[in-house]
Amino acid sequence: MRIETDALIVGSGSAGLAAALTARSEGLETLVIEKTDKIGGTTAYSGGVMWVPNNHLMEQAGIEDSTLRAMDYLRNTVGNRVSEERLLGFVENAPRMLKKLTDEGCLQVEIFEGFPDYRAEVIGGVLGGRSVEPKVFPGRKLGEEFGSMRARKFSSPVAGTMTELRRLAVIKTNFFEALKSWRVFTRAVFGKLFGSEYVSSGRALTSWLTFSAKKNGITFRLKHRLVELIEDDGRVVGARVEDEQGERVEIFARKGIVLAAGGFEHNAELRAEYLGKHAAIDRSSGSEGNEGDAIESAKAIGAAIDLMDDAWWAPTFMVPEVGPQIVIFERGKPGQIVVDHLGNRFANEAQPYNDFVKAMFESLVVNDEMTSCFMVFDQNFRDRYPLATMMPGITPEKHLKSGFVRKENSIKELAKSIGVDAGNLVSTVERFNAMAVSGKDKDFGRGDFAFDRFSGDDIAKPNSCLAPLNRAPFYAIEMFAGDLGTKGGLMTDESARVINQAGEVIAGLYAVGNCSSSVMGHFYPGAGGTIGPAMTFGYVAGMHMAKEIK
């Protein structure tokens, strides 16, 4: 079969949907193919937060930012690992992308309240405003199509924005702060009464974008997998695609093909080749369709690749019957520490997740083998905060029976249970407890940074990230080096065009999101640091294709 369109978008995550909406809005006939039977990719599993420096919501809220300031931040963090042109391409276009999508009614967003950049202390960093999140989406808007939207295996029992859910996480210690999130309860009641499901975070993002895409006449073909690219006279003109019966379809795209097919987190061979053996595949929280197909197909026609040895790392619990669950804000909460196989702390637990896993690789790999590490906490911590799908204070018996959660009456017994030296763990806890009382983590500076404190809880004084572990029983959960997906892929220029190994543009071919090598280099700038750039370069690719025909 042969199909023709103006723009072919491969993949239906945030990068692909932003590219599709932009191309369509600029007048192009647009087709999205998606390998799996669901729309949304890893984006649908995500928090849905977009890092968009200098965005129009900041201006409305009176938060200062500028292109120069954002460039300062990225120069000081990403450094020269990524070209100045690409960095500027991101910084200039990110606010344009958000403005266009919101002005055209494709997306409703708000600022993720008070979320600082991950290195807010660096010159150019800000204490909030750049991280933007989707508003809650009422599923009924999508009608029957709602069933085609990808959903997480486990999600919060109530639908709320990240701002709302973060407030709820301290309901046991700061009831009045949690009360500000009253809307989550009215949504729950309204949803029950009228049989309508509300979705939030990444699922809301993909739902808003898909709703608009369908309304604007963008065609979707699910269970259609890109297999190879078709070239003609040095230009990519189409793609060979396989449907679920294994039938080949040739799709020709008059204006361009945008590869938005995610990373290679679920391709065991590519992981082994590029990420090594310490980052196990089953600890990835990425969407299962992401097997590096687009990277391989573009490589086959000479595309260059970069950053393949890196991922968007996140410390992860392996929850029985659920699978990987990333551990983000919990590490900043007072009353827990993370210790290595000897019972020693090895890093600031509260630091951004990407950096924490890098610290895990540095400290836990011994004789080329990854050793274990555990989050250790006391009953106060368990009573106060949600953790790994568990509500505050409720530790299901099945988790104790399976050994996922270890619970003992003393630190000594807990040490035995997790196989670390008891004397060592006892002295680690004693030292930590003394520092918690003083409010200063002399070993790793936990609580010294804006992001740490954002994850903390003001109930703990004088340092909102520190409280002694002093109330039995004591608990431990093993923590693993996991990922949200990979960040290496096809090299692109500031217009999202794929570059070949000679450094030249491959005409007609664009790559965006996790199948392109990240504009953030080895850095993770702030919440939304993957989806912000993915959507920005999706927008850039859409605009570029449209400009080519004007």
Ligand X SMILES: Cc1cc2nc3c(=O)[nH]c(=O)nc-3n(C[C@H](O)[C@H](O)[C@H](O)COP(=O)(O)OP(=O)(O)OC[C@H]3O[C@@H](n4cnc5c(N)ncnc54)[C@H](O)[C@@H]3O)c2cc1C
User: For binding to ligand X (CB under 6 A), which residues are involved?
Assistant: 10-16, 33-36, 41-43, 45-49, 225-226, 260-262, 285-287, 289-290, 293-294, 312, 326, 484-485, 513-514, 527-531, 534
Give the sign of the dihedral formed by CA 397, CA 399, CA 401, CA 405.
Answer: negative
Nearest approach in angstroms of CB 491 to ligand X is 16
Distance between CA atoms of residues 21 and 270, nearest Å: 31
Nearer to ligand X, 109 or 226 (CB): 226
- The smaller minimum CB distance to ligand X, of residues 223 and 471, is found at 223
Alpha helices (H) along 228-364: 268-270, 293-299, 353-364
| Residue nearer to ligand X on the CB measure, 54 or 530 | 530
Closest approach of Cβ 17 to ligand X, in Å?
8
Q: Report the nearest approach of ligand X to the CB of residue 460 (Å).
A: 25
Q: To the nearest whole angstrom, how small is the minimum distance from the Cβ of residue 363 to ligand X? A: 24
Residue among 51 and 346 whose Cβ is closer to ligand X: 51
Amino acid making up residue 479: M
Closest distance of CB 202 from ligand X, Å: 6
Q: Which of residues 43 and 54 has its CB atom nearest to ligand X in the complex?
A: 43
CB nearer to ligand X: pick between 225 and 384: 225
Residue 535: other Cβ atoms inside 10 A: 33
Of 130 and 446, which CB lies nearer to ligand X in the complex structure?
Answer: 130
3-state secondary structure of 247: coil
CB of 64 to ligand X, least distance (A): 23
CB of 308 to ligand X, least distance (A): 15
Q: How far is CA 441 from CA 135, 201, 331, 363, 456, in A?
A: 37, 33, 14, 19, 14
Cβ at position 286, least distance to ligand X in Å: 6
Got the DSSP string for 395-406? --HHHHHHTSSE
162/376 with CB nearer ligand X: 162
Q: Which is nearer to ligand X, 142 or 534 (CB)?
A: 534
Task: Tell which residue, 476, 538, 519, 533, has the closest CA to residue 85.
Answer: 519
* Residue 440: CB minimum distance to ligand X, A: 31
What is the number of the residue whose Cβ is closest to ligand X?
13
CA distance 518 to 340: 31
Smallest distance, ligand X to C-beta of residue 241, A: 7
Which runs of E-coded beta strand occur in 367-455?
Answer: 369-370, 373-378, 406-408
- CA 96 vs CA 52, 93, 419, 437: distances in Å: 9, 5, 53, 47
- Closest to ligand X by CB, 34 vs 452, is 34
Burial bucket for residue 205 (CB in 10 Å: 0-12, 13-18, 19+): buried
Task: Note if the bond before 473 is cis, omega within 30 degrees.
Answer: yes
Q: At what angle do helices 84-103 and 14-25 cross, to 10 degrees?
A: 70
**CB-based contacts of 105, cutoff 8 Å, min separation 6:** 212
CA distances (Å), origin 337, targets 250, 416, 443, 476, 480: 55, 17, 12, 10, 15
Please calculate the CA angle 65-69-71 and round it to the nearest 5 degrees: 130
Give CA 459 to chain center in angstroms: 28
